[in-house]
Amino acid sequence: MQVIVLLTALTVLPAVVVSMTPFLRITVVLHFLRQALGTQTTPSNQVLVGIALFLTFLIMQPVAAEIYDAGWAPMQRGEITLEQAMERADEPLSGFLVRYVREKDVQLFLEISQTPAPAAPGDLDLRILIPAYVLSELKTGFQIGAVLFLPFLIIDLVVASVTLSIGMVQLPPVMLSAPFKVLLFVLVDGWSLVVGSLVRSFY
């Protein structure tokens, strides 16, 4: 039975990692950052996904430990059944999702599913929490990405204005602004700031 459960969990693991963890917000922000820098394929998708995965493991480690201690470990010892283990594992996961989900998104899916609102946030069903969490993380990721875009957009505008004023119409402004954007990002230690801010946003 444990082997069947493990194989089933492995098949849905990618969807779980993408939709029910900080992986979604982190990948959205990192892709916005790369686009704002104008470096096209540097860092590569594999590098960005790798960074997002390791940061996700770091953030989710306490939740995973709670799920293991509450559900998986007692089931291995034969103290509880599989159904009881799944019920106990839902509590830490639901607690994590509730912390970062927006009330508006929860209300949307409650209306769509025609489900009455529970008495407490902790009583929300996962079928409501998971899609609401995805929408909330998408909005948060896009908000952070928009803020990251602003300083680089200003550099693009300044360089474009200068090149047009001196008559350099044959040279694309993006080619001139790219080194300045990379230099600014390096000087302010951008990777440390972005990654540190992303991780702290979950604590």
Q: Hey, which of 34-43, 107-116, 137-146, 149-158 has the most confident mean pLDDT? A: 137-146
pTM above 0.75, yes or no: yes
* Terminal alpha carbon distance of the chain: 36
Higher confidence at residue 12 or residue 134? 134
List pLDDT tens digits, range 45-61: 888 888 888 888 888 88
For a pLDDT cut of 70, what percent of the chain falls above it? Answer: 92
For a pLDDT cut of 90, what percent of the chain falls above it? Answer: 0
Predicted local distance difference test score (pLDDT) of residue 70: 74
Rounded to whole angstroms, the Cα distance separating 197 from 173 reads 30
Question: Residue 117 — left, alpha, or beta (φ > 0 → left; ψ -120 to 50 → alpha)?
Answer: beta
Predicted local distance difference test score (pLDDT) of residue 168: 66
Average pLDDT over residues 179-196: 84
Rounded to whole angstroms, the Cα distance separating 4 from 82 reads 12
Rounded to whole angstroms, the Cα distance separating 4 from 48 reads 32
